[in-house]
Chains A and B, each alone.
Chain A
């Protein structure tokens, strides 16, 4: 009897054990649990509708910093004006200061006028503002109403300026062309609406390019890249986007190689070179999907020997491509790819090429050298020639070279002057200019005036040595 009961109990237990699912209360972690919205309808924006003229300007200043990374796309000023190598005891001479909407948009300078595309949080408008370089006097504004929410700042691009025109691209990729002298509206393009483009995380960071009378925009929607006539806004050519690459924060860089001018762009999906002229203008000359990361802010650094240096943050590190030309066609191969701990990599700013070396600030995930300024030789991007040292770390801020001096801005708006070199880091001086944070907007310099900003304030410093 006992045996039967035991067998029965065993059978029941076995049946219960087999029938019971021990993970029945587990919830499967699958896509969609965050209830992400579908995305709104792209708004119609009346580009250029807002604006006013406030003052006129007579100036004898002639120098320019006409676009992102300056006249030669290298972040090196060609000005011959001697600059200070040490700050006065009381700090740098701040000529003027203006409050801006939260963001990281940098300035362009053209013949005594500073241009910056700001987001006005009160008016809820993208506004291109023009200031007198020497006095900070407001000259005019031009823009358009648009509702934006804070997303690690709002503005983050640098205008492109020529003698006649200014070209801007706003946080939601609204392109605006205005007359340089008075801000009169010429034409506009709603890239998101016209090309179905997806606006990158934290808004558009691509700076517009004016080249050979054309506005060059990486639309990354139904067209990969577009060229528009600067005078009329007429579309001159559109590059197909067969792989549906998406818009990054990187900017289009002109590059002449193998006898042809091309536009190099690092998209989300891959990197390519687009013919800039000739009968096949707008055609893809070469492309590579080897470089494909989720967030790309730095722009490609194209070197004369065909090396193309690509870098990004968020663990991406860097890649070096070798571009080759033969019989009118191009090929590209990967020379090197490495993590941020293994060589020069940058998260936000584009490295500066100096005397055949590259200077850049490593990201936070670069191990012991994190946030340090380092120098590498293009023959070996993995070997750091020098670094700024563990006591001299920077951040995501910009850096540029002028008058053979390196100007480096830390996140907290501390401006450091160093002697650029290929053997060692030589610091000359540093001073905290502003009390804010996230001083990431690119620097601009002309006529001995340096324009810099933190997240909410832009200032103009007189750093000319001869005026002191």
Chain B
């Protein structure tokens, strides 16, 4: 009888031990996850995808590889770098007349508006609703101008996929995760980390 009771007592203790252990592990993981999440949100260490304009080679894949039907990549304009030229390599096809006719424009969707400011300056404004992120203007601006036109991932459009489909095919590794509290790499606003 004593032997039986003794054996029964031993079995209960093992079960209690396992139950307690499981509860403790769950508790620790829940508290840990909550603490980690709280810490991340409080320190702003979420990450989003962004393009380094100094690495971008204007290959055109941003327009076609994004999972969204209309790419989340758009051209942006660093006005401080712009020369406001009459002959803009980002606006005009090479050798085209310096007129706003569609046949002269480099942009396939007419997403750049050109406005005369005063002699000899012209302003170029991107209509993001029309921009498809093809980088044709960026290529022209980089080759013949100051490089003020460049691509950026728009976070109001980006789904922030776990694996960015553009980043996986980017030939120059120009797309990487950046802190969500500094989601853009606008030319003139950040310094190149390393000269290539």
A joins B in a complex: yes
- Nearest neighbor of B115 in chain A, beta-carbon distance: A34
Q: Report if A30 contacts B (CB, 8 A).
A: yes
For window 416-456 of A, CB contacts with B under 8 Å fall at none
- Nearest neighbor of A28 in chain B, beta-carbon distance: B102
Which of B64-72, B93-101, B183-191 lies at the binding interface? B93-101
The smallest beta-carbon distance between A248 and chain B, in angstroms, is: 13
Q: Report if A242 contacts B (CB, 8 A).
A: no
The smallest beta-carbon distance between A242 and chain B, in angstroms, is: 22
In the complex the two chains form, what is the Cα distance from A459 to B77 in whole Å? 35
Q: Report if A36 contacts B (CB, 8 A).
A: yes
CB pair B100 A30 closer than 8 Å: yes
- Nearest neighbor of A32 in chain B, beta-carbon distance: B100
Q: Report if A40 contacts B (CB, 8 A).
A: yes
CB pair B143 A33 closer than 8 Å: no
Residues of the B chain whose Cβ atoms lie less than 8 Å from the Cβ of A294: 87, 94-96
Q: Report if B17 contacts A (CB, 8 A).
A: no
The smallest beta-carbon distance between B57 and chain A, in angstroms, is: 11
Could you say which of A28, A35, A364 contacts B116, with CB atoms under 8 Å apart?
Answer: A35
The smallest beta-carbon distance between A429 and chain B, in angstroms, is: 20
Q: Report if B85 contacts A (CB, 8 A).
A: yes
CB pair B100 A364 closer than 8 Å: no
CB pair A149 B100 closer than 8 Å: no
- Nearest neighbor of B120 in chain A, beta-carbon distance: A151
* Chain A contact residue count (CB 8 A cutoff): 27
Residues of the A chain whose Cβ atoms lie less than 8 Å from the Cβ of B122: 34, 36
Q: Report if A327 contacts B (CB, 8 A).
A: no
The smallest beta-carbon distance between A34 and chain B, in angstroms, is: 4
In the complex the two chains form, what is the Cα distance from A83 to B115 in whole Å? 51
**CB contact under 8 A between A152 and B83, given known A33-B114, A34-B114:** yes
Residues of the A chain whose Cβ atoms lie less than 8 Å from the Cβ of B110: 29
User: Mostly helix, strand, loop or mixed at chain B's interface?
Assistant: loop
CB pair A365 B143 closer than 8 Å: yes
CB pair B100 A34 closer than 8 Å: yes
Q: Report if A313 contacts B (CB, 8 A).
A: yes
Residues of the A chain whose Cβ atoms lie less than 8 Å from the Cβ of B101: 29-31
- Nearest neighbor of B93 in chain A, beta-carbon distance: A315
Q: Report if B2 contacts A (CB, 8 A).
A: no
In the complex the two chains form, what is the Cα distance from A314 to B96 in whole Å? 11
Q: Report if B89 contacts A (CB, 8 A).
A: yes
Q: Report if B160 contacts A (CB, 8 A).
A: no
Q: Report if A235 contacts B (CB, 8 A).
A: no
Q: Mark A273-304, 1 if CB is under 8 A from B, else 0.
A: 00000000000000000000111000000000
In the complex the two chains form, what is the Cα distance from A315 to B94 in whole Å? 6
CB pair A31 B143 closer than 8 Å: no
CB pair A29 B100 closer than 8 Å: yes
CB pair A31 B99 closer than 8 Å: yes
- Nearest neighbor of A294 in chain B, beta-carbon distance: B95
CB pair A313 B144 closer than 8 Å: yes
- Nearest neighbor of B91 in chain A, beta-carbon distance: A34
Residues of the A chain whose Cβ atoms lie less than 8 Å from the Cβ of B99: 31-32
Q: Mark B130-151, 1 if CB is under 8 A from A, else 0.
A: 0000000000001110000000
**CB contact under 8 A between A34 and B144, given known A201-B87, A315-B95:** no
**CB contact under 8 A between A314 and B94, given known A34-B114, A37-B116, A201-B86:** yes
The smallest beta-carbon distance between A389 and chain B, in angstroms, is: 14
In the complex the two chains form, what is the Cα distance from A332 to B6 in whole Å? 116
Residues of the B chain whose Cβ atoms lie less than 8 Å from the Cβ of A152: 83, 85
Residues of the A chain whose Cβ atoms lie less than 8 Å from the Cβ of B119: 37, 39-40, 149
**CB contact under 8 A between A293 and B114, given known A33-B100, A314-B144:** no
In the complex the two chains form, what is the Cα distance from A62 to B135 in whole Å? 54
Residues of the B chain whose Cβ atoms lie less than 8 Å from the Cβ of A315: 94-95, 143-144
Residues of the B chain whose Cβ atoms lie less than 8 Å from the Cβ of A40: 119
Q: Mark A297-319, 1 if CB is under 8 A from B, else 0.
A: 00000000000000001111000
- Nearest neighbor of A151 in chain B, beta-carbon distance: B120
The smallest beta-carbon distance between B104 and chain A, in angstroms, is: 8
The smallest beta-carbon distance between A468 and chain B, in angstroms, is: 31
CB pair B105 A295 closer than 8 Å: no
Residues of the A chain whose Cβ atoms lie less than 8 Å from the Cβ of B94: 294, 314-316
The smallest beta-carbon distance between B95 and chain A, in angstroms, is: 5
The smallest beta-carbon distance between B78 and chain A, in angstroms, is: 16
CB pair B102 A293 closer than 8 Å: no
**CB contact under 8 A between A364 and B87, given known A29-B105, A34-B115, A40-B119:** no
The list of the 4 closest CB pairs from A to B, nearest first, reads: A315-B94, A31-B99, A29-B102, A33-B100
Name 27 A/B residue pairs within 8 A (Cβ), A-sorted.
Answer: A28-B102, A29-B101, A30-B102, A31-B100, A33-B100, A34-B100, A34-B114, A34-B115, A35-B116, A36-B116, A36-B122, A39-B119, A149-B118, A151-B85, A151-B120, A201-B86, A201-B120, A202-B85, A295-B87, A314-B87, A314-B144, A315-B143, A316-B94, A316-B95, A364-B142, A364-B143, A365-B143
**Residues on A close to B: CB < 8 A?**
28-37, 39-40, 149, 151-152, 201-202, 293-295, 313-316, 363-365
Excluding A152-B85, A314-B87, A315-B94, 8 further A-B contacts by CB distance (< 8 Å) are: A30-B100, A31-B99, A33-B114, A293-B95, A314-B94, A315-B95, A363-B143, A365-B144
